[in-house]
Amino acid sequence: MDPRRVLRSSALVLAAAGVLLSGCTGGGSSPSASASTTGGSGSDAMSAPAAGLKPYYAQKLSWRDCGVPGFQCATLKAPLDYDKPGGDSIRLAVARKKATGPGKRLGSLQVNPGGPGGSAVGYLQAYAGIGYPAPVRARYDMVAMDPRGVARSEPVECLTAKEMDAYTQVDQTPDDAAEAARLSAAFKDFAAGCQKRSGKVLPHVSTVDAARDMDILRAVLGDKKLTYVGASYGTFLGATYAELFPARAGRLVLDGALDPSLSARALNRDQTEGFETAFQSFAADCVKRKDCPLGTTSTADASNRLKAFFAELDARPVPTGESRRLGESLATTGVLTAMYDEGAWPQLRTALTSAMNGDGAPLLALADTYYERDGDGSYANLMMANAAVNCLDAPPAFADPKAVESALPEFEKASPAFGRNFAWAALNCAYWPTPATGTPHRITAEGAPPILVVGTTRDPATPYKWSRSLAAQLSSGRLLTYDGDGHTAYGRGSDCVDTAINTYLLEGTVPPPAKRCR
């Protein structure tokens, strides 16, 4: 897996692969003492914005055609530094698709697909604006904003495409001190590139900053309260908004939740377990099929075969038909990409079979989907923005390679096949140039109306226990459980899930306690 854990909806991950139109933050950003300058939080959350922010809350969006039929685009301005609202501003890309009717318009529905680093505008145009259930699209203007530092919103830049190619191939399971030093050097070079190319914005891309931007957009759109669907990391963004502005929170759906109370190390370890659970589900299905490249005997044998295959690739990468060869790092990323949605399992079986027969191209294609690498070799800024936000939101999981080495047993216990990779992946923020501003903490959002948290029992990227925990932390949290595979649940084929969420969004009625869908 790539060292910058990405949490995003399966729709976003797999849309690029053509499988389905429909990762991990290091912890929670805490609202700073200056939160009141954003317009307030808690009991005074509905008060007028502070003087320095009034021009931002009073701005008018100039909508224009953005080249995608049915969608309009605009640019929102926000303070670069909320502690200095009179200083520089940042320009944020916004898109919408107006309510189609019939029925009375209910306002705007903001959406975010996760990441951090996933383009919300791209998600809206490729999926949410056309793929969300029709009754919801009929009553709401569907709206998305690329968070600061992401995609069209003054993106964080770190490495060139050629440098990214090299970076994604670095051995992420070092076998000795020399290999560990090379991995550390790669992390340092990546961080230095971010500082060089995007040093001005790096201190100002936290989740708290993005949540404050969402409140400006809410006001500018004319909505008294925020209606929102956030997937994966987007759940943390939504929960942070509720913490900052509980009285301005409306109907919030948090699908595939993060647990903001956990440290970066705990999050990475839990996610290791999550992907192992998902792999075991894939393996149980695979071994029943004659074409399973991991054998047809048992899930334990399948796991051992995969681990042995990774070791072979570590020693001898296979060709892909281009200059890049498929080594252990890219192969691991390709396998884990397919864990986001069970619809990708057939593709993974084919890709593993090809790689084991000496053709790494299909598995490389899955890894490229995860990294958002286009056919021309260019990369979206997903991985760069991901690191920038994660490393700002919480202190690093590990301080140095020795700390990683001491943690390897617990990570390998969590996943024999993926544990070493996940442990070493968590080292990247140790070298980040901008100190973390957030700390892990419980989010209660006292005073917010009912908030719907959705958890999938075999979710790889956001383990189900995280959704249970967040729903329990929130003073008004209500948990909806989907007993199934894949990452997130809304719009992925369960009529039970979709009906419960649609009812909440359209009528404000949360499902009954302990509601479970299959």
Whether 204 is a known active-site residue: answer no
Ramachandran assignment for 514, one of left (phi > 0), alpha (psi -120 to 50 degrees), beta (any other): left
Residue 459 designated active-site:
yes
Encode pLDDT of 24-81 as tens digits: 444 444 454 334 334 444 443 456 788 899 999 999 999 999 999 999 999 999 999 9
Backbone angles phi, psi at 169, to 5 degrees: -100, 0
- Both tokens assigned to 236: 């943390």
**Angle at 203 (CA atoms; ends 198, 206), nearest 5 degrees:** 110
Cα distances from 498 to residues 89, 163, 253, in angstroms, run: 39, 42, 12
Least confident of 18-32, 377-391, 490-504: 18-32
Residue 37's pLDDT is 37
**How does residue 6 score in pLDDT terms, banded at 50, 70 and 90?**
low
List the catalytic residue out of 9, 41, 341, 487.
487
Please identify which of the residues 29, 153, 232, 303 carries the catalytic annotation. Answer: 232
Residue from 27, 7, 6, 437 nearest 260 by CA: 27
Pair 153, 91: CB distance under 8 Å: yes
Residue 400, pLDDT score: 97
Q: What is the pLDDT of residues 338-353, one digit of tens each?
A: 999 999 999 999 999 9
Q: Residue 21: pLDDT above 80?
A: no
Q: What are the pLDDT digits (tens) for 401-452? A: 999 999 999 999 999 999 999 999 999 999 999 999 999 999 999 999 999 9
Q: Which residues of 463-494 are buried (b: 16+ CB within 10 A; e: fewer)?
A: bbbbbbbbbebbebbbbbbbebbbbbbbbbeb
Chain Cα centroid distance, residue 230: 10
| Banded model confidence at residue 107, pLDDT cuts 50, 70, 90 | very high
Cα gap 232→489, rounded to integer Å: 10
Mean pLDDT value across residues 267-288: 97
- 3.40.50.1820, 1.10.20.10, 3.90.79.10, 3.40.50.720: CATH of 7-153+206-262+439-517: 3.40.50.1820
pLDDT tens profile 297-322: 999 999 999 999 999 999 999 999 99
pLDDT value at position 133? 95
| pLDDT, tens digit (0-9, with 9 covering 90-100), for 150-202 | 999 999 999 999 999 999 999 999 999 999 999 999 999 999 999 999 999 99
Active site residue 232: yes
Could you tell me which of 151, 128, 245 has the C-alpha nearest to residue 205? 151
Coil, strand or helix at 97: strand
Mean pLDDT of 478-489: 97
The average confidence (pLDDT) of the chain is: 92
Q: Which residue has the tokens 């995969």?
A: 306
Active-site option among 2, 141, 215, 459: 459
- Residue found by looking up tokens 């570590």 in the block: 314
The domain limits of the chain are: 7-153+206-262+439-517
Is there a cis peptide before residue 102, judged by omega within 30 degrees of 0? yes
Burial of 162 (0-12, 13-18, 19+ CB in 10 A): exposed
* C-alpha pair distances (Å), 427 with each of 101, 159, 378, 408, 454: 49, 18, 25, 12, 30
pLDDT at position 437 is: 97
Q: Which of 105, 132, 350 is nearest to 223 (CA)?
A: 105
pLDDT band for 1, please (50, 70, 90 cuts): very low
What pLDDT score does 47 carry? 60
What percent of the chain shows pLDDT beyond 70?
A: 91
Report which of 360, 299, 371 is spatially closest to residue 337, judged by C-alpha positions: 371
* pLDDT score at 102: 94
Does 118 score more than 50 pLDDT? yes
CA distances from 130 to 71, 138, 334, 429 (A): 10, 11, 28, 37
